[in-house]
Amino acid sequence: MKYSEQDAQAVEQTVANFLARFQPDFDYEPLLLYAALPLVLTAELLHYLRHRFVSGTPWVAEVDILLAGELCHERGYEQYTMHSPIRSYLLQRAKQHPDIRIEDAARLMIQYLHAFARSQPFSTYTDMQMQQWSALAFIKDMQSTVVNEIVHTFDANLELQLDKGEENNPELKRLVALAEQLAPELEAIRKLGCWR
Amino acid sequence: MVVFQRRYLGTGKRTVEPVVGAHDTPEPYIPSDGLRDAVNLAVFLERPLLLEGETGSGKSRLAYAVAYELGLPLYVWSIRSTSKARDGLYTYDAVLRLHDVQLRQSKGEIELSRDPSNPAHYVQFGELGEAFNTPHQSVVLIDEIDKADIDFPNDLLTVLEKPRRFTISETGHIIEAQHVPIVIVTSNKEKGNLPKPFLRRCVYYYVQFPDSEDGLKQIIKIHHLDKFGETPNAEIVNKAVPLFLNIRKTKMQKLPGTSELLDWLAALHYFGELFPANQLPDEPSRKIPYIELLYKLRTDLDRLSTGA
Amino acid sequence: MELETQIQACFLQLRAEGLALGIDELLDALKLAYAIPSDQLPTLLGMLWCKSLDDHMYFKSAWQNTETSPKPDTEPTLPDDLINPQPSNESSELNSSDMLPGEIDKTEPETIGALPLLVPSRAMSADYAEFKNYYPVSRRFMAYTWRYLKREMPDGPLKQIDFDRTVEIITRQGFYLTPAYRRSVIDHAHLVLLLDHGGSMTPFHHYLRDLVETAYFESTLAQVDIYYFHNVPETSLYFDLYFTQRVALTAIIEDLDENTSVLLVSDAGAARHRNDPIRIIVTEDFLNHLRRNTQSIAWLNPMPRDRWSNTSAQEIEQFVAMFPMNEDGLTQALDVLRGL
C-alpha cells in the first residue's frame, strides 16, 4: 500500500513524539522496533523480546508501548496490533538498524507460538498459521517455503471460492492482506496482490 | 556407553537376578536414549533424577520400568498438597500408643502385638524410610512433587544427599541408608519453578510428550499387546492417531494424554463391536465415539463443534 | 588436562550468568569427565548443570567459548534446528531432547517442508514451560510473602493431644486415664483482593494471575476472596474476569472484620498518565465504605512510583497507603495490612 508523502511524515512524527516522551533518560527505540515484528503482540511476547534483546530498557517500556493508542490498538483479549502504517515504517527502520537481530527475534516468536499454542487466546488455527508465516518471512532461508505455502493455501482457497461460488471468502481476504504486509520481504508474492 | 554399575539399558527386559522384594511386574515403557542416559547419570552421581513434562507424557512409568529391569524394589510416594517431607521418612502414631496404654490400664495384662512402653512399635516408615532400611538398592518414585507446597522439596534435600540419614525423634533411633536409593522425582510444573537448591541437586530431564504419529503408534503397540495380548487393529490406529494429534492441537483446558488415548483405543476395540475405522472423523468433532474419554472437561466438550 | 580446564572455565562462566551451580556440581562434572567418552560429555553435563532452556542456551555458548581449540567465531544465535519439525526417521517413541546439536553429530537438520505448525520439534521439547518471566516480583516471592498475613490463634476445637501435659499428668497422678488435649491453632486470616482488570491493566494481567494463583493456592491463608472491577471500584464488583457475575459492594463489606486485610491492585490512572477528578472522588468514596469494617487496607500500583506524579494515583495516594508492585512494595503493603 502506498502512502502519501503527508502520511509518511505523519507516521514519522508520531513515532518521534512517542520516543521523545521518554528521552533523554531512556531510548525506547530498539524495543519499539522489536515490537513491530510480530503480527499480533501480547504483553508476554513483548516481555520476552525485551528480556532477550534489549534488557537494558526498563520493563515499564513494555506497558508504555502497548498502551500507546497512537501506536497500537487492542485487537482481541490481551492481544495488541500496531497500526499498519506505523508497523511498516518501523519494519523499514528495523532492517536498517545495525543492532536489531530480526532473524533471532523471528525464531523467538516461533518458539513462543509453539510453546503457548494451546493456552494463547489465538482464535483459530489459521490465525496461528499467519503468525508463523509472518515470523518465518523474516528468516531468509525460510522465505521461499513461506511463499510456496501461502501460494498453495491461496490457490486452495481460490478453488474453493470458484467451486462454491462464494463471494468474499474471508480466508482469501486475509491471505491477501497478509501478502501485502509481507510483500516487502517476499518479492515473489507481489503477484498475489493483483487478485484483490 | 560407560560401564556403570547395574546399568539401565531401557529395553524393558530383565537381565539381572532380582533381589528380594523386587518390583516384579514388567513395565512396557521404552525410554528415549537421552532419558536412559539421564537415569544412568543420576545413578552414577548418586543424585535424584528430576523429570518434568506435560501430564500424560509417561514420566511416572519410568520408575516402574527401571525397578523391573534392574530387579529392585520400588517405593512409590504420591505427593499431595498436604504432604510433608517427614511423612516420607516416617510417621509416629502417638494416638494409637496412648490408646494401647489405656487398653492395658483398663483391661489389665492382655496380649498386644505392640508394646506401649516401646515407642519403636509405633513408628511406621514412609517410602524413603523403607528404602533406607532395605538391605539392597531400591528405586523410590516421588510423584508429582509440584503438588506440595514450596518448602517441601528443600525439606527433602537433607536426606537426598550425604549423609543419607534421619533421626526418629520419638525413639532417638538414627536411620541411615544402607544403599543409596535411585530417586526419581516427577513434576508437572503446574505452579512455577521448584526451589533452586533442590533443582541444583537434581539431574534434570524434560520428557517430551510424544506428539508424533510414529511415537504414539509405538506406545500403543507396546501397551495394547501388554494389556490385551494382541496387536491393535491397524486400520483403527491409522485413523485414530492422526485424529488424536489433531485434537491435541486444539485449544483445550485439559489436553488428553497417553492414558486417555489408550483408554479410548481400548473402548474402540472392545466396547461392544470393533468400531469401524472408516467412521472415525478426520477432524475433532462431536461425532467422535466415546468422546468423554478424550474430552474430560465440560468446557472443552462445549467448545467442540457439532462436526456437520 | 584440557578437558578439566574447559570444565572449570565453563563452570565459572555459567555461575557468572547466574546458574545455580555449587562446588558439588563442579566435582561431579570432573568425576563424569573421567568416566565417559569426551564426545558424550556435553550432553550429560547439560543434564547435570541445566534445569531449563535458558540454562541450556547459556551452557552451549559457554561450552563453545571455553573450547581450547578455537572454533570459528559463531554468532550467539539460537540453534538452527529449533524450528525444525519432527524428523522423519524416528523409531523410538520419545526423541531425546537434543540440546546441543552442534556438539553431537547427528544428521543435518532437514529443510522445513509443509510446516506442521503445532507439532513441536525435537529441540522445542523443553520450551513449553521454559519461558521464564522477569517481572519485578517473582511468583515465588509472592507465595512466601502472603504467609505473613496469617493470624493464628489457639482457639480451635480441642483435638490435638498435648503430650507434654499428658506426661506431666501421668507422672503426677501415677496413672493415665485420658490424654490431655490442647486447642488446635486456627488461622483466621482473611484476605480480600480487589483487582482492576482490562483496559490499562491489560499489560499487567500476567502479574494479576500470579497474585491470584499464589494467594489462592499457595498462601495457605484461611480465606481468600477475589473480586474484579474495571478502572474504578464502585457499588458493585465481579467474581470473574469477564465481568459477568456481579456482587454488590454491601455484600463484600459485610464480610469484612478486624481479621480482614484488603489489598487493591490498580494503576489508578498512572499507566495512561491520566488525572481524572471524578475517578479520584469515586475511589475515595469506595475506600470510606470499606473503612467502616476494617482499617487494614493497602493499594498496589503496578506502575513504578516515579510515574505516579500528575496522575490520579498521586491524589489517591493521599488517602490510602499505596506502594509500587515490586518486592519492597509488596512487603511494605503487607506490613501495613498487618498493622505495623
Say whether both A118 and A148 belong to one domain.
no
**Nearest residue of A to residue C119 by CA position?**
A114
Say whether both A33 and A106 belong to one domain.
yes
pLDDT (0 to 100) of residue C142: 84
Whole-angstrom CA distances from B146 to A117, B52, B150, B161, B193 are 23, 10, 8, 20, 9
* CB-based burial label for C194 (10 Å; 0-12, 13-18, 19+): buried
pLDDT (0 to 100) of residue A18: 95
For residue A130, being part of any structural domain is answered with no
pLDDT score of A38 more than 50: yes
- CA geometry: angle C207, B149, B168, nearest 5 deg: 160
For residue A134, being part of any structural domain is answered with no
Following DSSP, what letter does each residue of C281-326 receive, concatenated? HHHHHHHHHHHTT---EEEEESS-GGG-TTSHHHHHTTSS-EEESS
At C85, the pLDDT band (50, 70, 90 cuts) reads very low
**CB of C162 less than 8 A from some CB of B:** no
For residue A133, being part of any structural domain is answered with no
Least CB–CB distance from C51: residue in B204, B210, B216: B204
At C90, the pLDDT band (50, 70, 90 cuts) reads very low
| pLDDT tens for the 308 residues of chain B, in order | 333 456 888 888 888 888 888 998 888 888 888 999 999 999 999 999 999 887 777 888 999 999 999 999 999 999 988 888 999 999 988 777 877 777 777 776 666 778 877 888 889 999 999 999 999 999 999 999 988 877 889 889 989 988 899 999 888 889 999 899 999 999 986 556 788 889 999 999 988 888 788 888 888 887 888 778 888 899 999 999 999 999 988 877 778 888 889 889 988 888 878 888 888 988 888 889 888 889 888 778 887 765 43
Say whether both A104 and A14 belong to one domain.
yes
Q: What is the mean pLDDT of chain A?
A: 78
Say whether both A103 and A143 belong to one domain.
no
Phi, psi of A82 (to 5 degrees): -80, 145
pLDDT score of C306 more than 80: yes
ipTM: 0.79
Whose CA is closest to B239, among B260, B217, B259, B211?
Answer: B217
Contacts of C122 in chain A (CB under 8 A): none
Q: What is the mean pLDDT of chain C?
A: 75
pLDDT digits (tens, 9 = 90+) for C147-166: 778 776 667 666 666 766 66
Following DSSP, what letter does each residue of C236-273 receive, concatenated? EEESSTTS-SEEEHHHHHHT--TTEEEEEE--TTTTTT
- Is C48–B208 a contact, with Cβ atoms under 8 angstroms apart? no
Least CB–CB distance from C90: residue in B38, B45, B215: B215
pLDDT digits (tens, 9 = 90+) for A154-163: 777 777 666 6
One-letter amino acid at B60 equals: S
CB pairs under 8 A between A and C: 87
User: In percent, how much of chain C has pLDDT > 70?
Assistant: 69
What does R_g of chain A's alpha carbons equal in angstroms?
17
Q: Please give, rounded to a whole number of angstroms, the shortest distance from the CA of B20 to a CA of chain C.
A: 30
N-to-C CA span, chain A: 12
pLDDT digits (tens, 9 = 90+) for C211-259: 888 888 777 787 889 999 998 888 788 887 778 788 888 888 888 888 8
Say whether both A39 and A105 belong to one domain.
yes
For residue A132, being part of any structural domain is answered with no
Following DSSP, what letter does each residue of A133-185 receive, concatenated? HHHHTTSGGGHHHHHHHHHHHHHHHHHHHHHHT-SS-HHHHHHHHHHHHHTTT
* CB-based burial label for B292 (10 Å; 0-12, 13-18, 19+): exposed
Among the ranges given (A4-8, C62-66, C285-289, C321-325), the one the predictor scored with the smallest mean pLDDT: A4-8
- Is C124–A101 a contact, with Cβ atoms under 8 angstroms apart? no
- Is B255–A125 a contact, with Cβ atoms under 8 angstroms apart? no
Least CB–CB distance from A114: residue in C127, C129, C303: C127
Per the model's pLDDT, the better-predicted residue between C2 and C73 turns out to be C2
Residues 6+ apart with CB under 8 A from C77: A101, A103, A104, A107
pLDDT (0 to 100) of residue B110: 66
Mean pLDDT within C99-105: 29
| pTM, two decimal places | 0.53
Whose CA is closest to B66, among B112, B108, B120, B6?
Answer: B6
At C3, the pLDDT band (50, 70, 90 cuts) reads confident
Among the ranges given (B14-28, C114-128, C216-230, C292-306), the one the predictor scored with the smallest mean pLDDT: C114-128
Contacts of A125 in chain B (CB under 8 A): 249
For residue A129, being part of any structural domain is answered with no
- CA geometry: angle A89, A93, A96, nearest 5 deg: 150
pLDDT digits (tens, 9 = 90+) for A119-135: 544 445 666 677 777 77
Say whether both A115 and A191 belong to one domain.
no
Least CB–CB distance from A78: residue in C115, C130, C202: C202
Say whether both A35 and A72 belong to one domain.
yes
User: Which of A72, A96, A124 is the last residue in one of the domains?
Assistant: A124
Other C-beta atoms closer than 10 Å to the C-beta of A94 total 22
Mean pLDDT within A10-24: 93
- Is C202–A74 a contact, with Cβ atoms under 8 angstroms apart? yes
User: Which of A124, A148, A183 is the last residue in one of the domains?
Assistant: A124
Least CB–CB distance from B252: residue in A118, A122, A125: A118
pLDDT digits (tens, 9 = 90+) for C35-48: 888 888 999 999 99
Q: Please give, rounded to a whole number of angstroms, the shortest distance from the CA of C274 to a CA of chain A.
A: 12
- Is C78–A108 a contact, with Cβ atoms under 8 angstroms apart? yes
Say whether both A94 and A49 belong to one domain.
yes
Contacts of A122 in chain B (CB under 8 A): 251
Contacts of B252 in chain A (CB under 8 A): 118
Mean pLDDT within C93-111: 30
- Is B252–A125 a contact, with Cβ atoms under 8 angstroms apart? no
N-to-C CA span, chain B: 54
pLDDT (0 to 100) of residue A36: 93
Do the bridges between strand B174-176 and strand C152-153 make them parallel or antiparallel, or are there none, so unpaired?
Answer: unpaired
* Total number of domains in chain A: 2
pLDDT (0 to 100) of residue C83: 37
Q: Please give, rounded to a whole number of angstroms, the shortest distance from the CA of A15 to a CA of chain B.
A: 36
CA separation for the pair B287, B285 (Å, rounded): 5
Residue B39 grid coordinates: 537415569
Q: Which domain holds residue A157?
A: 139-196
What does R_g of chain C's alpha carbons equal in angstroms?
28
Whose CA is closest to B261, among B215, B222, B294?
Answer: B294
For residue A22, being part of any structural domain is answered with yes
Contact B145, C139 (CB under 8 A): no
CA separation for the pair C268, C336 (Å, rounded): 19
Q: Please give, rounded to a whole number of angstroms, the shortest distance from the CA of B251 to a CA of chain A.
A: 5
Contacts of C37 in chain B (CB under 8 A): 2
Least CB–CB distance from C161: residue in B95, B101, B161: B95
CA separation for the pair C99, C123 (Å, rounded): 6
Say whether both A114 and A30 belong to one domain.
yes
Whole-angstrom CA distances from C106 to B27, C102, C110 are 30, 9, 11
Say whether both A19 and A109 belong to one domain.
yes
Say whether both A106 and A16 belong to one domain.
yes
Residue B299 grid coordinates: 468446557
CA separation for the pair C20, A131 (Å, rounded): 35
Q: Which CATH architecture describes the domain C188-338? A: 3-Layer(aba) Sandwich (3.40)
Say whether both A156 and A194 belong to one domain.
yes
pLDDT (0 to 100) of residue C321: 95
Residue B307 grid coordinates: 462436526
Q: Please give, rounded to a whole number of angstroms, the shortest distance from the CA of B253 to a CA of chain A.
A: 8
pLDDT (0 to 100) of residue B111: 67
